[in-house]
Each structure stands twice: as structure tokens, then as C-alpha cells.
Amino acid sequence: MIELHRLTKRYGGTTAVDSLSFTVGPGHVTGFLGPNGAGKSTTLRLILGLDACTSGHALINGRPYASLSRPMHEVGALLDASAVHGGRSAYNHLLCLARTNDIGPARVTEVLEQVGLADVGRKRVGGFSLGMKQRLGIAAALLGDPEVLMFDEPVNGLDPDGVRWIRGLMRSLAAEGRTILLSSHLMSEMALTAERIVIVGRGRLIAEATVAELTAAYPSLEDAYMALTASSVQFGAAR
């Protein structure tokens, strides 16, 4: 479970996350939506302790990230697939991560197979396509077999086969009773993958509802999103 209590982050005069409170429960995929600059990535970074919050707090299974003794066993995340050392092989990249959390090499082989990278595991990550790097980032998130998983735009760069694979993976991880928070701008994918939706705009909570509730109230999830975020879009192009 992920719990946010009045989470706030200011960067100078910019309030990226503004007193944000919501809970992400286990057993289903929760979609995390919002316009560009709404504060989604900042929120994910705050949950993972990669950035210090200004006030409020975020808890993973009831505890702040910093107090988790073996964090990869509790929470896994894909935030930025390109944040990998290009000179290392996929296998070695994962092995380095695994060692920091007492995870053995057999698990590295297992997750490489799970994400479809077993055949290129010994190749340098620098030569990987964006889609391959996304798969590697997902493998890293899965390494510790965590109960809580967070993915920021995981389908970026994936081919249609990969997009379908991600959809199935997210749903099966949720069906295993895990807590899945999935950030994406692809409404059609979100409608097929998520059961619950959290929408933010300008750092604030706009809506928290099931996909079924939103699609009952609006013609589609995309229509619901457009209506609910209409006054929160900061970077709309001239029409």
C-alpha cells in the first residue's frame, strides 16, 4: 500500500506537489494521470525518497522509504529508463543492483527472462533501444519481488507487442495482490489496464475514482480526463 498525507514539494517559487493526499491499495492497477508538469514524477520521486518533501509524508506499507532496511524487497520502480550505465551489460547492471539488497544471480536471470531480454543479457546497455531500456528498467523494478511497484510511462518506446505485454504484466502483478501505481499519458492503454484512477493537476488532487465510475459519467476515460483537467493544463499549444 502507498499512502500520501498532505505531501508537498516546493522548488523555489514553484509548488510541484501541493498538499496531495491519496492511498493506492493492493490488488489492482491504479493509474496516475495529469497534464505535463502536474507533479506526477515529483510525487513518485518523493515516495521513493529521491527528493525530500517540503511537508507532509509518503508511506510504503506504513513506513517512509528511508526506514526500509531492504527497500528493493518492498518497492520497485521504473522512473527513467535511460538512467543506466551504458558500458555495462544488462546482466551486470541488474547484478550490481541485486547485490545491494542481498539478491542472488539466479533472480537476475529470472527477471531478464520475464522481461524478454534473456538473449541480450550479456550485451552492453549502451546499444539498447529505448524499448529495450524500458524492459531493463522493469526488470530492475521486479528484482526484489516487491509488493509495491511504481512505473512512470513504462510503454514509452515499446512496440505494439511490448505495449500489450506491459498491459498483461501490470494486470497480472496486480492480480497477485501487489500495489501498482502506473503513470501514463496514454488514455486508451490506461482504460484497458487500470481499475482505479488518480488525477492530479498543478500538484493538487483533482479526482480519485474507478475507471468504471469515470466511464459511466463521461463518454470515455479520455473525455473524463479532458473535462476534469481542463482548467489545470499549463502547457497547452495554441489552437
Q: Find the shortest distance in angstroms from Cβ 69 to ligand ATP.
A: 28
Stretch of residues binding ligand ATP (CB under 6 A), selected from 37-45, 100-108, 140-148, 214-222: 37-45
Cβ-based nearer residue to ligand ATP, 20 or 60:
20
38-57 binders of ligand ATP (CB under 6 A): 38-42
Cell of 228: 476534469
Q: What string of DSSP letters covers 80-135?
A: -TT-S-TTSBHHHHHHHHHHTTT--HHHHHHHHHHTT-GGGTTSBGGG--HHHHHH
Q: Find the shortest distance in angstroms from Cβ 31 to ligand ATP.
A: 13
Cβ burial of 19 (10 Å; 0-12, 13-18, 19+) is middle
Stretch of residues binding ligand ATP (CB under 6 A), selected from 10-18, 165-173, 212-220, 224-232: 10-18
CB-side exposure of 20: number of CA atoms within 13 Å? 37
Residue 201 sits in the site that holds ligand ATP (CB under 6 A): no
φ, ψ dihedrals at 82, nearest 5°? -85, -5
Residue 67 sits in the site that holds ligand ATP (CB under 6 A): no
Residue 8 sits in the site that holds ligand ATP (CB under 6 A): no
Q: Find the shortest distance in angstroms from Cβ 142 to ligand ATP.
A: 22
Amino acid at 179: T
Q: Find the shortest distance in angstroms from Cβ 199 to ligand ATP.
A: 11
Residue 139 sits in the site that holds ligand ATP (CB under 6 A): no
Residue 34 sits in the site that holds ligand ATP (CB under 6 A): yes
Rounded alpha-carbon distances, angstroms, from residue 211 to 5, 116, 191, 201: 23, 30, 7, 18
Residue 11 sits in the site that holds ligand ATP (CB under 6 A): yes
Nearest-angstrom CA–CA distance, 154 and 233: 22
Q: Which of 37, 49, 56, 116 binds ligand ATP (CB under 6 A)?
A: 37
Residue 157 sits in the site that holds ligand ATP (CB under 6 A): no
Nearest-angstrom CA–CA distance, 221 and 216: 9
Residue 116 sits in the site that holds ligand ATP (CB under 6 A): no
In the complex, the residues that contact ligand ATP under the rule CB under 6 A are 11, 14, 16, 34, 36-42
